């Protein structure tokens, strides 16, 4: 007896390429309509600018005259001659490296604490508000940290007898970086924080119950063994967010550019060259460096935080 | 042996003789060099100490006269002084001129003063009336100072004002956006007789002069503006009856309520005779019940408002009465600006105050419009008898007598408190040791008594303010706080050293109080005269109608283009249109548009699209709209108010237009100070016209310096050796000059002639930088300080300021009036004896033409018109009127600059300072310079660099950047022609 093989549904007689497209449309057509708006905007306003930036980094575009192709000159200047770039890189890592993880941990910690409290919504709003108000608060920070002896913090310290003469916060290079880190951490309870809150509210109570039965003694053990593994996707999102924001951090205190470039981050460097010194081509080159840095670090984090358990298993089987 | 001894003795005698001779010679030498030292340093100690005398105020003097028994003159004939019969004068001879059939004395700026002698038959207190005709001048009120018998009777005689009168030149117009736009103001001139009052409107009756029987001399000194004087009269003060007396009169005459209502809009041009200030204008009110309604589109439906707020500003209305009889007058008015305080007006019918109660009538504050008749405190409307025919109604801004008393008291309190503060400061210094018992009540004589007295005064001030307010004014709370602090300090004197900051705060509060109580705004929508007993039309808007009005506005916001300042000229008359962007607030743009429509487009048919652009700040990622517009090819034709280095930055990249290509450029450039064009020069061309200029002057506290017996320093040596030591002995300081100033005064420069390298590597620059750093490290200048606050408290009685700080002190520190003055900045004495007083930063903002334009001629016409003296002056007066004196227009057109309402003596000094003022040139890559200097300063002050090292680093950075940029743009040394120093 002949066994009938189950054939694929009959397709129209056409070249393989077309049918592949048609198949794709049938399978994904409806879905793509849903993400098309976002996708178009994303391509137009994120992908395309990155590509244009890449192109511009090989020219000497100054925003006003036609650009001329100069090959790798910008990158050469960048890595060999520009002492401020090294400083900017260093500052970015310091400021971003401290403010980023600190902000990240603080976000998670506060999300976790608030999750276990009453009046969650009120506290969520209180902690989320600074990140939205961020740019408007520059005035407040300048006022608090004014270098005048009658400036707010100076006056408190002088009256308390801790210092004798006023500290010029926004000019003395020792203080500018810590203040910037402080401001960043204060404003870092942003979307990451909200995402953590959401993730923590969706925990499976069964797991914590069974954990308690199995001998978990205190809250911290519960946090480490039960809660954290469940919120890995949220942690991943928060981490990527933090990395991108930290690397692109812009110093909001201390003037622009800060004295002796002490708080000059990569973003500030780009802004400086692009808009103040009319060297958009060079600025594009710097932004390319920033881009690849963020991308690279992002990949590292993904490897760290995505579900790893399956891979070793698969590998063994393949070899075995 | 004897020989040896003898020899030794001879040697000893010789040595002794030599030693003695040496000592004598040394003495002589020391004396000689001491004399040279004295010669050198005596030059530092020349000069007389600053003189300061405060004149008594009118209130004080008047009460002293009344106590001495002087009475108001009554029943005596007028004492007439024909102006042409002057006894003496100084300056140019005043000539006689006939105007409209009346002969008058032309008293212009060249005449310093004119004197008249006259005889007084009877002793008494008289008022002064002047018959005058306002001529020529620059549209500002006419001011003179008066002295009787060579003395100033009281401080107010320093400025006596004779106002000019204005009307709308044309009807209002609806512009292309659908908004109503006001017309320009024009002056109306005629012979006016006016009783002279105080310039701030604090006293509701004209000033009184004490004249004893006998011969006297009156001197009028020139302050501002020319005038034709016909005669001056001393008259018995007008006796104004009380309302009760007036009512009795009505009874006696048997007047009846009239018939027929007369109503008109307060902003109606037909009914306004004139206003005493061109800046009092109609405005748009969004209340739905205001007639005509101005919600979605702007309609000028109310008169005065915030623009009608300073003393003596008056509006005169005319109306016709059909039937004679008794009327009551109602106003639909609004006083929403001074929360809790009432605004006072003097009401005059046919030029005279009908009864006492109208000398100062209170319009209470309310968050909404209200319609109320002029009424007595019990609520009964006042009755006015009006005969048939035309009448006038004048409303004049006055400051309530309670507020005036409070104002005078507040001045004395501030004086007392400042002095106490300074005395305490002399003992404790600005940062007192928190662990030390200063026993201030014992070390400062009568400190507690002073504080007690001040606290009591403040209580009286609060009470007076409450009397003048309709409800609890917020300012009373501030006063109570100050009073509380003072009482606490009296109770526990040990707390005083810790409360120094609170005292500074209190001074600020009181200072703000003085500023706040000087404004008395009132908006009027309509005026209605109704026969007594009749009904007034009351238009109160309900909450719902207001909500609807807001919604209408909101809907309109989708249709209206708010960036575009609308055109009022119809399109048919326009041949070409240019796009102009201005980087200032909408008020400035609207005034400019008004001028454009009537004076520019109306005259030569070039239309202007005016757009408001946010200034191109680059902090934290905000967008530089201008730059992006140029990149995308949508740049405007002309850009106004751009920052000073933009023109050259754009010129380097071929984006701004070289203005020297226009044939009449040379002539136009003469309107400005030569040096103000320096930052716009590049490669032989000039790429912008200056719009505003800046100046640097030295401000000083007359009262404090005269207390310290200090003369004004003319050179920096005098500052360091004479002024600073005395200041520091008294725990005061001085504000530091900028590095620029020292650099230029010491003969240095930022760039070489060709602008290709920095000139900071010259010895003069090193010397200047070392001097600059030593100001902070060795001479104790504070690195950062708020000059405005410290000048007010007196901690920094002397300092160098720019235009902005000068305006701040002038307008926002009223308690300092008369206590400070202006002087040229100290300089460096050169070998030929002259003092180099160079300052920089002369140029303010710039106007450029973008090279993307295809209408170059039209753009140049516009710039020529905009920077002309007439338009700049008109613009300046209007801006100041609309926004206030703090927005004084510092026009770069020198003629216009001098014609704006500066204090004349200050102006003279400022114009002197222009001789030395200059600006730093803009060069390719020059952005790096300010940064490098700032970093160098930072290094030297905080990071232990020596000034030389820090400056060397800066020089390297600057030169490297300049070279880099020159490389980028292929500039060869021979091609570039910089701007020089």
What pLDDT score was predicted for residue B751?
92
In this predicted structure, what is the pLDDT of residue B932?
92
ipTM topping 0.85: no
Convert the pLDDT of each residue in B286-302 to its tens digit.
788 888 887 777 888 88
Confidence of residue A17 (pLDDT cuts 50, 70, 90): low
Q: Can you read off the two tokens belonging to residue A232?
A: 């890995």
Task: Indicate the pLDDT class of residue B104, thresholds 50, 70 and 90.
Answer: confident
A230 CB within 8 Å of a chain B CB: no
A63–chain B Cβ distance below 8 A for any pair: yes
Percent of chain B whose pLDDT exceeds 90:
25
Beta bridge partners of B640: B582
pLDDT of residue A152: 85
Cα separation, B572 vs B582, whole angstroms: 25
The 8 Å CB, 24+ separation contacts for B945-952 are B947/B766, B947/B769, B947/B770, B947/B772, B947/B773, B947/B774, B948/B766, B948/B770, B950/B769, B950/B773, B951/B760, B951/B765, B951/B766, B951/B769
Half-sphere exposure of B478 (CA within 13 A, CB side): 16
Mean of the pLDDT values across residues B933-958?
A: 91
Provide mean pLDDT across the span B788-809: 89
pLDDT at position B86: 87
Averaged pLDDT for residues B823-840: 87
For chain A, say whether B655 makes contact (Cβ under 8 Å): yes
At B575, the pLDDT band (50, 70, 90 cuts) reads confident
Q: Note the pLDDT of residue A41.
A: 93
Residue B785 CB coordination number (10 Å): 21
Q: What is the pLDDT of residue B959?
A: 92
pLDDT of residue B978: 44
Amino acid B100: pLDDT = 85
DSSP structural state of residue B735: P
**In B76-172, beta strands by DSSP E:** 79-82, 88-91, 95-99, 102-107, 111-120, 124-134, 142-148, 160-162, 165-168
Max distance between CA atoms of chain B, in angstroms, equals: 143
Measured between CB atoms, does A52 come within 8 Å of chain B?
Answer: no
pLDDT of A274 above 80: yes
Query: Residue B33's pLDDT band (boundaries 50, 70, 90)?
Result: low
* pLDDT, mean of residues B127-156: 87
Question: Do B783 and A168 lie within an 8 Å CB cutoff?
Answer: yes
Residues in B 427-446 with any Cβ partner in A closer than 8 A: 430-431, 434-435
pLDDT at B39: 59
Structure confidence at residue A308 (pLDDT): 54
Query: Strand, helix or coil at B99?
Result: strand
Residue-averaged pLDDT of chain A: 80
pLDDT greater than 70 at residue B438: yes
Contact (CB<8Å) A278/B649: yes
Shortest Cα–Cα distance, B423 to chain A (Å): 19
Architecture of domain B58-235: Sandwich (2.60)
Minimum Cα–Cα distance from A259: chain B residue: B935
Reported confidence tier of residue B974, pLDDT bands at 50, 70, 90: low
Provide, as residue numbers in chain B, all residues whose Cβ is less than 8 Å from the Cβ of A276: 618, 927
- The yes-or-no answer to whether B58-235 and B243-399+520-548 have a common fold is yes
- The pLDDT of residue A300: 86
pLDDT of residue B618 exceeding 60: no
> Nearest residue of B to residue A60 by CA position?
B968
Rounded mean pLDDT of A55-80? 86
Predicted local confidence at residue B253, as pLDDT: 86
* pLDDT of B35 higher than 70: no
* pLDDT classification of A315: cutoffs 50, 70, 90: very low
Say whether pLDDT at A77 is over 50. Answer: yes
Sheet with B111-120, edge to edge strand ranges: B88-91, B111-120, B214-224, B142-148, B160-162
Summarize the confidence of residues A292-298 as an average pLDDT.
88
- Which chain A residue has its CA at the smallest distance from B939's CA? A260
* Confidence grade of residue B980 (pLDDT, cut at 50, 70, 90): very low
Give the least confident one: A254-258, B159-163, B652-656.
A254-258
A147 to chain B, minimum CA–CA distance in Å? Answer: 6
- Structural domain spans, chain B: 58-235, 243-399+520-548, 403-516, 561-693+843-900
Nearest CB to B431: which of A158, A173, A174? A158
pLDDT beyond 60 at B166: yes
Average pLDDT on B607-620 reads: 66
CA-to-CA separations, B741 to A283, B350, B748, B800, B825, in angstroms, rounded:
35, 58, 10, 10, 10
pLDDT digits 0-9 by tens, B355-405 = 998 998 999 888 888 888 898 888 888 988 888 899 999 999 998 888 888
Mean pLDDT of A175-199: 83
Q: Kindly tell me if the per-residue pLDDT of B622 is higher than 50.
A: no
CATH number of this structure's domain B243-399+520-548: 2.60.120.260
User: In this predicted model, which residue has the larger pLDDT, B227 or B793?
Assistant: B227
The arithmetic mean of pLDDT across residues B539-557, rounded, is 81
CATH code, B561-693+843-900: 3.40.190.10
Distance from CA of A70 to the nearest CA of B (A): 11
Contact A250 B931 (CB under 8 A): no
Q: Let me know: does B78 contact B235? Beta carbons within 8 Å.
A: yes
What pLDDT score was predicted for residue B665? 93
Give B367-388 as a DSSP string. SS-EEEE-B-TTSPBP-EEE-S
- Please tell me the distance from the alpha carbon of residue B147 to that of residue B157, in angstroms, as a whole number: 7
Long-range CB pairs of B944-949 (<8 Å, 24+ gap) are B947/B766, B947/B769, B947/B770, B947/B772, B947/B773, B947/B774, B948/B766, B948/B770
Whole-number average pLDDT of chain B: 85
Distance of CA B827 to the CA centre of its chain: 26
Per-residue exposure over B160-170, b if at least 16 CB sit within 10 Å of its own CB, e if not: bbbbbbbbbee
Radius of gyration of chain B (CA): 33
Is B624–A147 a contact, with Cβ atoms under 8 angstroms apart?
A: no
Q: Is the pLDDT of residue A3 over 60?
A: no
Question: A315: helix, coil or strand?
Answer: helix
pLDDT (0 to 100) of residue B348: 93
* Nearest CB to A257; choose among B435, B621, B931: B931
Mean pLDDT of A102-123: 85
> What six digits make up the tokens of B283?
């405005």
Contacts with A168 from chain B: Cβ below 8 Å: 783-784, 942
Max avg pLDDT among A182-191, A198-207, B953-962? B953-962
* Structure-model confidence comparison of residues B856 and B47, the more confident one: B856
Determine which of A72-81, A301-310, B40-49, B816-825 has the lowest per-residue pLDDT on average. Answer: B40-49
- pLDDT attached to residue A309: 46
Domains in chain A: ranges and CATH: 76-309 (1.10.3720.10)
Confidence of residue B456 (pLDDT cuts 50, 70, 90): very high
For the segment B203-219, what is each residue's pLDDT rounded down to a tens digit? 888 999 999 889 999 99
pLDDT at residue B495 in the model = 80
Task: Look at B938 and A173 and tell me if their CB atoms are within 8 Å.
Answer: yes
pLDDT value of residue B913: 92
Mean pLDDT (whole number) for A38-49: 92
pLDDT at position B689 = 94
Q: What is the mean pLDDT of residues B674-699?
A: 92
In this predicted model, which residue has the larger pLDDT, B329 or B619?
Answer: B329
Q: What does the pLDDT read at residue B806?
A: 93
Contact B650 A65 (CB under 8 A): no
Cβ contacts of A164 on chain B, cutoff 8 Å: 431
């Amino acid at each position: 007896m002949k066994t009938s093989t189950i054939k694929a549904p009959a397709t129209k007689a056409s070249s393989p390429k077309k049918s592949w497209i048609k198949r794709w449309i049938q399978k994904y057509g409806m879905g793509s309509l849903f993400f098309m708006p976002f996708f178009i905007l994303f391509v137009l306003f994120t992908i395309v600018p990155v590509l244009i930036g890449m192109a511009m980094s090989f020219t000497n575009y100054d925003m006003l005259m036609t650009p001329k192709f100069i090959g790798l000159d910008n990158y050469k200047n960048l890595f060999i001659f520009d002492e401020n770039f090294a400083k900017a890189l260093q500052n970015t890592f310091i400021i971003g490296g401290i403010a980023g993880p600190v902000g990240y941990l603080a976000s998670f910690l506060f999300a976790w604490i608030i999750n276990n409290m009453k009046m969650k919504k009120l506290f969520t709003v209180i902690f989320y508000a600074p990140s939205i108000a961020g740019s408007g608060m520059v005035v407040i920070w300048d006022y608090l940290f004014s270098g005048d002896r009658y400036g707010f913090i100076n006056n408190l310290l002088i009256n308390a007898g801790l210092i004798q003469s006023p500290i010029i916060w926004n000019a003395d290079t020792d203080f500018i970086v810590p203040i910037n880190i402080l401001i960043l951490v204060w404003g870092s309870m942003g979307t990451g924080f909200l995402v953590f809150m959401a993730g923590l509210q969706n925990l499976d109570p069964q797991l914590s119950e069974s954990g308690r039965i199995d001998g978990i003694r205190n809250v911290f053990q519960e946090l480490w063994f039960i809660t954290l593994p469940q919120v890995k996707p949220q942690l991943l999102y928060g981490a990527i967010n933090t990395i991108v924001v930290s690397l692109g951090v812009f110093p909001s205190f201390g003037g622009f550019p800060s004295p002796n470039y002490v708080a000059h981050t990569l973003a500030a460097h780009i802004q400086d060259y692009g808009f103040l010194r009319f060297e958009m081509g060079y600025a594009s080159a710097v932004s390319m460096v920033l881009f690849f840095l963020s991308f690279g670090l992002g990949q590292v984090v993904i490897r760290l935080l995505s579900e790893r358990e399956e891979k070793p298993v698969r590998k063994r089987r393949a070899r075995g | 042996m004897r020989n040896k001894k003898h020899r030794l003795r001879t040697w000893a005698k010789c040595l002794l003789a030599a030693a003695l001779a040496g000592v004598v010679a040394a003495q002589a030498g020391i004396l000689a060099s001491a004399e040279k030292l004295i010669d050198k340093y005596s030059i530092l100690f020349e000069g007389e100490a600053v003189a300061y005398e405060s004149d008594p105020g009118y209130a004080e003097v008047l009460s002293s006269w009344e106590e001495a028994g002087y009475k108001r003159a009554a029943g005596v004939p007028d004492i007439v002084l024909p102006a042409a019969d002057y006894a003496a004068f100084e300056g140019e001879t005043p000539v006689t001129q006939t105007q409209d059939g009346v002969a008058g004395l032309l008293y212009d700026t060249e005449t310093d003063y004119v004197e008249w002698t006259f005889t007084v038959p009877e002793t008494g207190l008289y008022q002064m009336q002047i018959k005058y005709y306002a001529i020529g001048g620059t549209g500002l009120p006419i001011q003179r100072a008066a002295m009787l018998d060579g003395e100033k009777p009281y401080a107010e005689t320093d400025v006596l004002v004779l106002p000019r009168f204005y009307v709308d030149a044309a009807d209002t117009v609806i512009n292309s956006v659908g908004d109503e736009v006001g017309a320009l103001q024009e002056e109306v001139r005629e012979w006016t007789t006016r009783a002279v009052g105080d310039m701030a409107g604090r006293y509701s009756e004209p000033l009184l002069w004490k004249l004893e029987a006998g011969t006297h001399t009156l001197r009028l000194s020139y302050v501002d503006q020319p005038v034709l004087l016909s005669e001056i009269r001393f008259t018995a003060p007008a006796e104004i009856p009380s309302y009760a007396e007036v009512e009795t009169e009505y009874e006696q005459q048997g007047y009846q309520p009239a018939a027929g209502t007369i109503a008109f809009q307060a902003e109606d041009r037909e009914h306004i005779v004139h206003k005493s200030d061109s800046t009092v204008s109609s405005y748009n009110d969004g209340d739905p019940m205001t007639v005509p309604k101005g919600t979605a589109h702007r309609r000028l439906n109310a008169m005065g408002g915030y623009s009608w707020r300073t003393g003596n500003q008056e509006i005169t209305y005319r109306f016709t009465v059909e039937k004679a009889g008794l009327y009551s007058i109602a106003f639909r008015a609004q006083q929403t600006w001074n929360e809790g305080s009432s605004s006072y007006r003097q009401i005059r019918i046919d030029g005279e105050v009908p009864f006492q109660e109208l000398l100062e009538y209170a319009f209470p504050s309310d968050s909404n419009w209200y319609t109320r008749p002029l009424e007595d405190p019990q609520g009964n409307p006042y009755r006015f008898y009006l005969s048939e025919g035309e009448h006038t109604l004048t409303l004049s801004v006055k400051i309530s007598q309670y507020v005036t008393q409070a104002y005078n008291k507040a001045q004395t309190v501030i004086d007392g408190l400042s002095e106490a503060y300074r005395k305490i400061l002399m003992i404790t210094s600005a940062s007192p040791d928190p662990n030390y018992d200063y026993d201030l009540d014992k070390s400062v004589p009568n400190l507690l008594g002073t504080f007690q007295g001040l606290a009591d005064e403040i209580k009286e001030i609060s009470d007076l303010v409450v009397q003048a307010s309709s409800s609890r004014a917020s300012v009373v709370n501030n006063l109570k706080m100050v009073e509380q602090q003072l009482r606490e300090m009296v109770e526990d004197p040990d707390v005083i050293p810790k409360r120094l900051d609170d005292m500074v705060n209190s001074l600020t509060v009181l200072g703000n109080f003085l500023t706040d109580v000087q404004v008395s705004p009132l908006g009027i929508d309509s005026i209605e005269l109704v026969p007594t007993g009749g009904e007034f039309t009351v238009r109160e808007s309900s909450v719902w109608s207001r909500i609807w009005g807001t919604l209408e506005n909101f809907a309109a916001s989708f249709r209206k283009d708010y960036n575009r300042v609308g055109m009022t000229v119809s399109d048919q008359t326009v041949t070409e249109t240019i796009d102009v962007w201005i980087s200032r607030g909408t008020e400035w743009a609207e005034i400019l548009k008004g001028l454009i429509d009537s004076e520019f487009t109306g005259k030569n048919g070039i239309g202007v699209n005016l757009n408001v652009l946010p200034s191109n700040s680059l902090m934290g990622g905000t967008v530089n709209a201008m730059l992006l517009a140029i990149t995308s090819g949508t740049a405007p034709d002309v850009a106004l108010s751009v920052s000073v280095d933009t023109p050259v930055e754009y010129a380097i990249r071929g984006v701004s237009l070289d203005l020297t290509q226009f044939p009449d450029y040379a002539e136009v450039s003469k309107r400005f100070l030569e040096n103000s064009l320096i930052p716009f020069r590049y490669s032989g061309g000039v790429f912008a016209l200056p719009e505003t200029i800046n100046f640097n002057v030295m401000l000083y506290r007359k009262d404090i310096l005269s207390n310290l017996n200090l003369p004004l320093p003319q050179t920096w040596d005098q500052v360091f050796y004479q002024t600073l030591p005395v200041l520091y002995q008294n725990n005061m300081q001085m504000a530091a000059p900028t590095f620029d100033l020292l650099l230029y005064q010491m003969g240095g420069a930022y760039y070489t002639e060709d602008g290709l390298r920095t000139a900071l590597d010259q010895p003069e620059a090193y010397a200047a930088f070392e001097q600059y750093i030593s100001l902070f490290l060795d001479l104790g200048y504070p690195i950062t300080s708020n000059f405005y606050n410290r000048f007010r408290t007196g901690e920094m009685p002397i300092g160098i300021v720019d235009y902005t700080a000068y305006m701040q002190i002038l307008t926002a520190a009223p308690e300092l009036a008369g206590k400070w003055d202006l002087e040229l900045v100290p300089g460096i004495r050169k070998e030929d004896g002259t003092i180099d007083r160079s300052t920089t930063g002369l140029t303010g903002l710039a106007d450029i033409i973008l090279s993307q334009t295809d209408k170059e001629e039209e753009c140049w016409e516009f710039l020529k018109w905009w920077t002309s003296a007439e338009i700049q002056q008109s613009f300046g007066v209007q801006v100041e009127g609309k926004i206030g004196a703090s927005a004084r227009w510092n026009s770069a057109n020198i003629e216009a600059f001098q014609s704006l309402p500066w204090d004349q003596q200050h102006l003279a000094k400022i114009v002197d300072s222009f001789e030395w003022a200059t600006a730093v040139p803009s060069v390719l890559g020059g952005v790096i310079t300010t940064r490098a200097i700032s970093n160098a300063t930072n290094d030297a002050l905080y990071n232990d660099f020596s000034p030389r090292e820090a400056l060397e680093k800066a020089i390297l950075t600057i030169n490297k950047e300049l070279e880099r940029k020159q490389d980028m743009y292929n500039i060869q040394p021979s091609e570039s022609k910089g701007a020089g120093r």
